[in-house]
Amino acid sequence: MHLLKEVKIFLSLFLLLSLAMHFQAWLDHPLAHIKSLSGSPMGLWHPFWITAVVYIVLLLFRLVWRTGKRVFG
């Protein structure tokens, strides 16, 4: 897999998840929302951890799909 493609997928996923989970906060007070990240109960780095977990799950599905296509197709 190409690294640049994977970075684009990760960043797109990061933006999509952050907007989906906190849509109203991003519309109402985006800077205050970013500043309050350090005081979050889930911790400062939780957006990256959540994105990494979702990315790994999607990566596994993509690998299974690709392997299945090679075996059966």
Number of domains in the chain: 1
Contacts by 61-70, CB closer than 8 A, 24 or more apart? none
**Which is more confident, 18 or 1?**
18
Judge contact between 22 and 33, C-beta under 8 A: yes
pTM: 0.82
The pLDDT value recorded for residue 69 is 94
Give 18's Cβ-side CA count (13 Å radius): 19
Tokens of 1: 């897999």
Tens of pLDDT along 5-63?
A: 999 999 999 999 999 999 999 899 989 988 888 888 988 899 999 999 999 999 999 99
**Domain assignment of residue 11, given as a range:** 3-72
Band of pLDDT at residue 1, cut at 50, 70 and 90: low
